[in-house]
Amino acid sequence: MTLQQRDRRALIVLSAALALALVYWIAGSSPAGSAKVVAPVESIDRMEKRLANLRNRAATLPVKTTFLTQANAELAEREKGLVAGDTAEQAQAQLVQVLRRIAKAQTPPMEIRQVELGQPKTYGNAYGTVTVSVIIECRIDELVNYLTSLSAQSETIATEEIRFGMANPKQKTMPVRLTVSGMVAQRLVPQKKGLPQL
């Protein structure tokens, strides 16, 4: 293989540039043993200001701690009404138990004929809701008493929807589809993945 005149000139220029770069690198780098680390010089005034600032922060710490414990206590008091459960399905089962307990406490006791479980949904940034629909057959006064008992429960539950069916004129009863939702912790609601909806 033979080199052309142009290739020889390019190799000579390249080797000269590499030699200059090597000399520059060796001259610019300092020996490892001669590098000294010098601590920054801080004035006494600056250190006194810093100390005063730290003392002010330390003085406000007990007040902030008191506010934090008070806020946590208020939050715990408010969240007592959340429907309990480790999963959304357990929270829905707990909500069904509450609805059955209220139905049995009525005079005469009411019977829940059918139960439908809805999808858990988010409610704000910190909570979620679980939904349960039940079908009961009752008179209108029994329904009013049932809804009154429902609103008096310690859990944070509310009636979301009521649908009335065709009334039975002989017994003066009607089928009612009652949808009730209960508040749960945000961790029980599955997170939606994918693109946000418009």
Q: Are residues 86 and 55 in the same domain?
A: no
pLDDT digit string, tens, across residues 136-149: 999 999 999 999 99
Same domain, 98 and 166: yes
Exposed/middle/buried for residue 93 (C-beta within 10 Å: 0-12, 13-18, 19+): middle
**What is the rounded average pLDDT for all residues in the chain?**
87
Residues 86 and 175 in one domain: yes
For residue 190, the 8-state DSSP code is: P
Percent with pLDDT over 90 in the chain: 50
Please state, in angstroms and rounded to a whole number, the distance separating the CA atoms of residues 53 and 177.
64
Q: What are phi and psi of 169, to 5 degrees?
A: -70, -25
For residue 64, count CB atoms less than 10 angstroms from its CB and return exposed for 0-12, middle for 13-18, buried for 19 or more: exposed
pTM of the model: 0.62
Q: Give me the pLDDT at residue 30, please.
A: 60
- Checking if the pLDDT of 195 tops 80, the result is no
Higher pLDDT, 76 or 9: 9
Domain span holding position 54: 46-81
% pLDDT > 70, the chain: 90
Q: Is the pLDDT of residue 122 over 80?
A: yes
Q: Judge if 171 and 74 occupy the same domain.
A: no
Whether 98 is in a domain gets the answer yes
Question: Same domain, yes or no, for 92 and 181?
Answer: yes
> Over 70: is that where the pLDDT of 160 sits?
yes
- Residues 126-134, mean pLDDT to the nearest whole number: 93
Do both 76 and 142 map to the same domain?
no
Whether 75 is covered by a domain: the verdict is yes
At residue 156, does pLDDT exceed 90?
A: no
pLDDT band at 80 (very low <50, low <70, confident <90, very high): confident
| Pair (183, 93) in one structural domain | yes
Average pLDDT of 177-182? 95
Dihedral angle over CA of 81, 83, 86, 89, nearest 10: -170
CATH number of the domain bearing residue 133: 3.30.70.60
Residues 168 and 89 in one domain: yes
Total tally of structural domains belonging to the chain: 2
Same domain, 72 and 141: no
